[in-house]
A and B are shown apart, each in its own frame.
Chain A
Amino acid sequence: MSPPAQSEAAVLPAAAASVATEPADVRRLAGARAAAVGRALLPWALPLGVLALWQAAASLGFLSSRVLPAPSDVAVAFWRALGDGSLLTNVAVSTRRALIGLAIGGSIGIALGVLNGIVRPAETAFDSTMQMLRNVPHLAIIPLVILWFGIDEEAKIFLVAIGVAFPIYLNTFHGIRTVDRGLVEMARVYGLSSTALFWRIVLPGALPSVLVGLRYALGIMWLTLIVAETISSTEGIGYMTMNAREFLQTDVVVLGVLAYALLGKLADSFTRAIERRALAWHPAYQHGSEGTA
């Protein structure tokens, strides 16, 4: 090899940059972009395919609208319900119940989890009771709840609160118990007060676990609400679907199911956003990667 060859090698990076505007590289770049778009669309291929099949089956008469309405009918029902305002009202009512129940149950779960996680005597006193109650399916007490609260708002909110309290309690308790002992010892040596220790070490340490509990609780929240609203209600998505069943409006029933799916997905995205923000310090949430929990 001769010196000129070496100088050629030295300018190679610059040369590579200028070459990028040539046709072959444009094609390669376009190919890469197409692949990226393909990756983004791939998760939607299956649902869209099913939708197309479903529409075809309904249009060709293989599928009775008594069994399942065509997607187009659901879309029409959507416009109708949106137009007369009933959809938004029902979604708002359900969301309000869900959030109030979550706030109450979540607060109780976090408070008990923190208390039992930090204070040993409290754990001895409460934990085994919590474990016992946790194993009772909370929907089993619906008859009792109706006797207590009638079919008013309280009944639904009570059920949601009970449903979400347990997963949040368990995960908060676990999170606090597994906070790094070394960090707690460090904080004591460095003179942190108990309050500072709690806010700066214990709670942030438990937070990833608390958020897992929250995501789990959100699923239970919607599940509880669906059941509670279908049994006793005069408003809400559950009422909307049950009412539609009376009149064999399968399109409205499917619309209600879709509304639940969408609300559930929204709630999940919301928690993910909280996680990304609150756990920005965590290596798993850096470099834009998504957490899995």
Chain B
Amino acid sequence: MEIFAAADADVAAKVRADEIRATFTLPEPRASAPRWKGEPIHLSAVTKSFGARPVLRRLDLDVPAGQFLAVVGRSGGGKTTLMRLICGLDLTTSGEVRVGESRVTGLMPQVRLLFQDARLAPWQRVLANVGIARGPHWREEAHAALRDVGLADRGRDWPSVLSGGQKQRVSLARALVSRPGVLLLDEPFGALDALTRTEMHRLTERIWTEHGFTVVLITHDVAEAVALADRVVVLRQGEIALDVPVDLPRPRTGIASAEALDLQRRILAAV
């Protein structure tokens, strides 16, 4: 019986390792990865109201080029509104938003957005979804982006056969194709299970380190904010309640240090 149990455990461990390899193989970080220019974001005295209800009140925020910023807050605190203003899906009631040199007056081609749900067109294969904007060399670019997120061999699949994490990786690849100066992440990991979420964190951190664009991550998960960002801003009732740098070494392991936990407690107190 012991032999049996031992053999079983052995096989089980092997199967599990195989499964993990099968579900997620991260490509090795490449030292020679092409870096593209991150763009700074400036908000000055931004107010946004829906009807008489102000969602953002005279908000000032500067995000230097290449920074990984996390915006934390309760639902209805104005996080998503802030993000829609930066990419130009909504316009300010008063005040000014600038991305790089240009003022945001409409949709910004250098800003890409990752939605809470992957929003893949189910009638296009994965590769066609990644190259949805169909630039001149979209096939090669889409393929390179898929390789970046570790899905090089899934280009010919329909989105419906992918897991939730894989779909979100495809949508990340889609955002990377055009080499955006700013990447906005609107709680893209919220619906994933804990293991997949950690993997997505590592992937996002790696790609950001390689390419050096500016990131604004919207999340209500304080641990996620501390695990990923250079800086955390707490948005409460349309105003900035806390603005702290996160000076933790990279790449981060996903296991919170005492310092990280302390930071999490401070941020939670402000939320």
Q: Are A189 and B113 in contact (CB under 8 A)?
A: yes
Interface residues of B in 154-194 (CB under 8 A from A): 158-161, 174, 178
Q: Are A6 and B174 in contact (CB under 8 A)?
A: no
Listed residue (A187, A190, A196, A205) with the most chain B CB atoms within 10 angstroms of its CB: A190
Say which residue of B117, B158, B178 sits within 8 Å of A286 (CB atoms). B158
| Chain A residues with CB under 8 A of B159 | 281
Q: Closest chain B residue to A9 by CB distance?
A: B4
Interface residues of B in 114-170 (CB under 8 A from A): 115, 117, 119, 121-125, 132-134, 158-161
| Chain A residues with CB under 8 A of B112 | 189-190
Q: Does A201 sit within 8 A of B, measured CB to CB?
A: yes
| Chain B residues with CB under 8 A of A196 | 134
Q: Are B107 and A286 in contact (CB under 8 A)?
A: no
Q: State the interface size on chain B (CB cutoff 8 A).
A: 27
Interface residues on A, range: 20 to 34
Q: Are A6 and B7 in contact (CB under 8 A)?
A: yes
Q: Does A27 sit within 8 A of B, measured CB to CB?
A: no
Bitwise, B91-122 to A at CB < 8 A (1) or not (0) is: 00000000000000001010011010101011
Of A72-80, A120-128, A178-186, the one touching chain B: A178-186
| Chain A residues with CB under 8 A of B17 | none
Q: Are A186 and B115 in contact (CB under 8 A)?
A: yes
Say which residue of A189, A281, A282, A286 sits within 8 Å of B124 (CB atoms). A281
Q: Are B87 and A189 in contact (CB under 8 A)?
A: yes
Q: How far is the CB of B205 from chain A (nearest CB, A)?
A: 23
| Chain A residues with CB under 8 A of B195 | none
Q: Does A15 sit within 8 A of B, measured CB to CB?
A: no
Q: How far is the CB of A74 from chain B (nearest CB, A)?
A: 45
Q: Are A192 and B133 in contact (CB under 8 A)?
A: yes
Q: How far is the CB of A2 from chain B (nearest CB, A)?
A: 9
Q: Are A183 and B119 in contact (CB under 8 A)?
A: yes
A6-B3, A182-B119 known; A191 and B107 CB under 8 Å? yes
| Chain B residues with CB under 8 A of A286 | 158, 160-161
Q: How far is the CB of A174 from chain B (nearest CB, A)?
A: 18
By Cβ-Cβ distance, the 6 closest A-B pairs, closest first, are A204-B123, A186-B119, A281-B123, A283-B160, A281-B158, A189-B113
Could you pull out 27 A-B pairs where Cβ atoms are within 8 angstroms? A1-B1, A6-B3, A6-B7, A182-B115, A182-B117, A182-B119, A186-B119, A187-B132, A189-B89, A189-B113, A190-B174, A191-B109, A191-B133, A200-B124, A204-B121, A204-B124, A205-B121, A205-B123, A280-B158, A281-B122, A281-B123, A281-B124, A281-B125, A281-B159, A282-B160, A283-B160, A286-B161
